[in-house]
Amino acid sequence: MANTGPVKVGLIGSQFQGDIHAASLEMVRHEAELVAVASPTPGNAAALAKRYRIPRVFTDYREMLREPDIEMVTITAPNRLHAQMAVDIAASGKHVVCEKPMAMTLEECDQMIEVARKQGVLLMYAEELFFTPKYLKAKEMADAGAFGKVHLVKQSEKHFGPHSEWFWDVERAGGGALMDLGCHGIAFCYWFLGRPAIKTVYCQLGTYVHGDKTRAEDDSLCILEFANGAVGLVEDSWTRRGGMDDRIEVYGDAGVTYANLHMGNALPTYSESGYGYAVEKAPTTTG
Ligand SMILES: NC(=O)c1ccc[n+]([C@@H]2O[C@H](COP(=O)([O-])OP(=O)(O)OC[C@H]3O[C@@H](n4cnc5c(N)ncnc54)[C@H](O)[C@@H]3O)[C@@H](O)[C@H]2O)c1
């Protein structure tokens, strides 16, 4: 009989993002129940299981896929493994959530989509920038006409480089800063502008600081030209000292807004026409 309670979830991976998925699932217990975790290094999955009271622990994710009651599996393993894991999960009849980047190549992505389709399961890509309150607010204002016709959307994500050694290896990561961080910015610009077709892409990549660790780029600029005439500028870097920086800028013919994900709690904004709601007791949103 179909489960009508919270979705039973299995987690692959137990480190940085595994912990974030476990913590996030704990916040929506009425909707999802994390019942198992799989991670190959002995002791790691068990440690995560202890922290989040996850009842079942596996070292091989394929064994976890044999558990008949698990309905959805979320992948927080290195990029090189995403495609094979997604295919295995879908083939076992379970829904898939996959961390970014979706896979290493477009061919792998196509294969994932094909197997999920054939098996009749959902293949979900876990992009989170669309859910951050400040960026959502910026989109809400744009959709309400606050900035008029938007012609430029910028997103940038920068820090001094990844926490795990596999990210530096292009064979396991698929690329450098653009692959690691740019997938957020590209998805963001595309979403923000209402998913128009992309006409042209220009990228400038360079290795400036971490050439001793990687043959991938540690800094990148990516310019996307969309079919509706707007431009997206995505800046990503593994060379920024001082921790993570994540920000956006939106420019239109009637206004502008800036949002910094980690600093302050407001979006400095100018709007010729005004928009829905700014703050309690503000009589106008013009200017
Ligand atoms: N959305 C985001 O903002 C965000 C942030 C960080 C990482 N990520 C993504 O999450 C994924 C994991 O990154 P991370 O930072 O957690 O890396 P990590 O190195 O901290 O953890 C990787 C995990 O994968 C496990 N793993 C390795 N081989 C495995 C295998 N064969 N079977 C099962 N598990 C295996 C490791 O044991 C470990 O638990 C990557 O694809 C990364 O791009 C996304």
Ligand 1 lined by 44 (C-beta under 6 Å): yes
- Model confidence over 164-173: pLDDT tens digits? 999 999 999 9
Residue 1 has pLDDT above 60, yes or no: no
- Report residue 26 as tokens: 């704990």
Segment 126-143, tens digit of pLDDT:
999 999 999 999 999 999
- State the average pLDDT over residues 78-104: 98
Q: How far is the CA of 18 from the centre of ligand 1 (A)?
A: 7
pLDDT in tens, 18-51: 999 999 999 999 999 999 999 999 899 999 999 9
Please determine, for residue 124, whether its predicted confidence score (pLDDT) is greater than 70.
Answer: yes
pLDDT (0 to 100) of residue 42: 87
* CB-based contact 221:215 (threshold 8 Å): no
Residues contacting residue 153 through CB under 8 Å, at least 6 positions apart: 188, 189, 192, 193, 230, 231, 232, 233, 248, 249, 250, 251
Å from CA of 273 to ligand 1 middle:
45
Q: What angle do CA 79, 10, 12 make, to 5 degrees?
A: 25
The structure's pTM equals 0.95
CB of 38 closer than 6 angstroms to any ligand 1 atom:
yes
Task: Supply the pLDDT for residue 279.
Answer: 85
Residue whose CA is closest, atom 25 of ligand 1? Answer: 13
284 C-alpha to ligand 1 centroid (Å) = 46
